[in-house]
C-alpha cells in the first residue's frame, strides 16, 4: 500500500534528514514508525504524504507515484499531523463537511459517520462551535474524526495519541484495528512504545535518517526477552 524506494531528504545542501529509506507497508497492517527525536520520522511522513518532496527516491501510494500523480495518490489516504493545526475560523461541523466534500462522501454517509465518530470521541455536541474555542485535545479528536470520515484505504498518523484522554486513546486504537481488519492500512508514529507493542503488526525504527530495524512485533520480540522499550533503547543507542 505504501512503498518508499530509496527516499532521501537533504537540507541546506548537506544535512541528511532521511537517508536512502526503503519501506513496504502492506494492506491490512498497523505499522508503527519509531525513532528518537530528530531521527527523521516526521520528515518521512511529510514526504509520504506529499507535503515535502524527497531529494531522491520514489514513493508509491497503492501503486501510484505521489510526485507524478499527486491528486490520485492523495485520494487513497488521510493524514493527521503531529500538531493539531487546523482552520480556526470555522466550526467543527464545517471542517468535517469540507473534508467530506473533498473525498466525495455522500450526504447520507457523512451524517452517519460524523455522528458516530464524534460521538465516540465525545465532541458531537461541540461541532457547532468555532474551532478556535476548542482545547488541544478537542482539536486532535476533530482531526482524527476527519481522517476516519472518508474511510480511506490508508490512514497516516503522526503522534496521534498526544492530547487524547485514556478513553479516546482506547477508541482510536480500536478504530485503527477495525480499519485494518477490513483491509485498510495504518501508518503511525509514536513515542508511546507500550501502545505500539500491543497494537502494531510490524514496526520500523529509524535513527539519524536511516532505517535500522523493520520487522513484525513477534519477530522482533523472538530475538530478545526484553520489552519493545528496552529493544528500542538498545538499538537507538548502539546502532
Could you report how far apart the first and last alpha carbons of the chain are, in Å?
A: 28
> What Rg, from alpha-carbon coordinates, does the chain have?
18
**Helix, strand, or coil here: 224?**
coil
The segment with the largest mean pLDDT, out of 10-24, 80-94, 120-134, is 120-134
Indicate the pLDDT class of residue 238, thresholds 50, 70 and 90.
Answer: low
Give pLDDT tens digits for 76-88.
999 999 888 888 8
Q: Which of 110-114, 137-141, 231-235 has the lowest mean pLDDT?
A: 231-235
Cα distances from 111 to residues 91, 117, 165, in angstroms, run 16, 10, 25
The share of the chain scoring above pLDDT 90, in percent, equals 76
pLDDT at 34: 92
Neighbours of 136 (CB within 10 A): 12
Query: Which cell is 20 given?
Result: 536512502
Mean pLDDT across the chain, nearest whole number?
92
Q: Got the DSSP string for 67-104? A: TTSHHHHHTTEEEE-SS----SSSBHHHHHHHHHHHTT
List, in order, residues 6 or more apart from 139 with CB less than 8 Å away: 84, 86, 131, 163
Give pLDDT tens digits for 126-166.
999 999 999 999 999 999 999 999 999 999 999 998 889 99
Give pLDDT tens digits for 189-212.
988 888 888 899 999 999 999 998
Question: When comparing pLDDT for 219 and 20, which is higher?
Answer: 20
**CA 101 remoteness from chain centre:** 21
Indicate the pLDDT class of residue 225, thresholds 50, 70 and 90.
Answer: low
C-beta of residue 49 within 8 angstroms of C-beta of residue 79: yes
Indicate the pLDDT class of residue 239, thresholds 50, 70 and 90.
Answer: very low
pLDDT at residue 221 above 80? no
Rounded to whole angstroms, how far apart are CA atoms 218 and 165?
28
Amino acid at each position: 500500500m505504501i512503498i518508499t524506494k530509496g527516499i532521501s531528504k537533504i537540507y541546506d545542501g548537506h544535512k541528511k534528514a532521511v537517508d536512502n529509506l526503503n519501506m513496504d507497508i502492506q494492506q491490512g497492517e498497523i505499522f508503527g514508525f519509531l525513532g528518537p527525536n530528530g531521527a527523521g520520522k516526521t520528515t518521512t511522513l511529510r514526504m509520504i504524504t506529499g507535503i515535502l518532496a524527497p531529494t531522491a527516491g520514489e514513493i508509491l501510494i497503492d501503486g501510484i507515484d505521489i510526485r507524478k500523480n499527486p491528486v490520485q495518490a492523495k485520494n487513497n489516504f488521510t493524514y493527521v499531523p503531529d500538531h493539531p493545526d487546523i482552520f480556526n475560523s470555522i466550526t467543527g461541523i464545517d471542517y468535517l463537511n469540507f473534508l467530506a466534500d473533498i473525498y466525495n462522501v455522500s450526504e447520507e454517509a457523512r451524517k452517519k459517520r460524523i455522528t458516530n465518530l464524534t460521538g465516540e470521541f465525545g465532541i458531537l455536541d461541540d461541532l457547532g462551535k468555532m474551532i478556535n474555542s476548542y482545547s488541544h485535545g478537542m482539536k486532535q479528536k476533530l482531526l482524527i474524526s476527519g481522517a476516519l470520515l472518508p474511510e480511506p484505504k490508508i490512514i497516516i498518523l503522526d503522534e496521534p495519541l498526544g492530547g487524547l484522554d485514556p478513553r479516546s486513546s482506547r477508541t482510536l486504537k480500536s478504530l485503527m484495528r477495525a480499519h485494518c481488519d477490513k483491509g485498510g492500512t495504518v501508518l503511525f508514529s509514536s513515542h508511546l512504545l507500550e501502545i505500539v507493542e500491543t497494537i502494531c503488526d510490524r514496526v520500523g525504527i529509524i535513527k539519524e535518517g536511516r532505517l535500522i530495524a523493520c520487522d513484525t512485533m513477534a519477530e522482533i520480540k523472538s530475538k530478545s526477552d526484553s520489552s519493545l522499550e528496552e529493544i528500542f533503547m538498545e538499538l537507538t543507542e548502539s546502532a
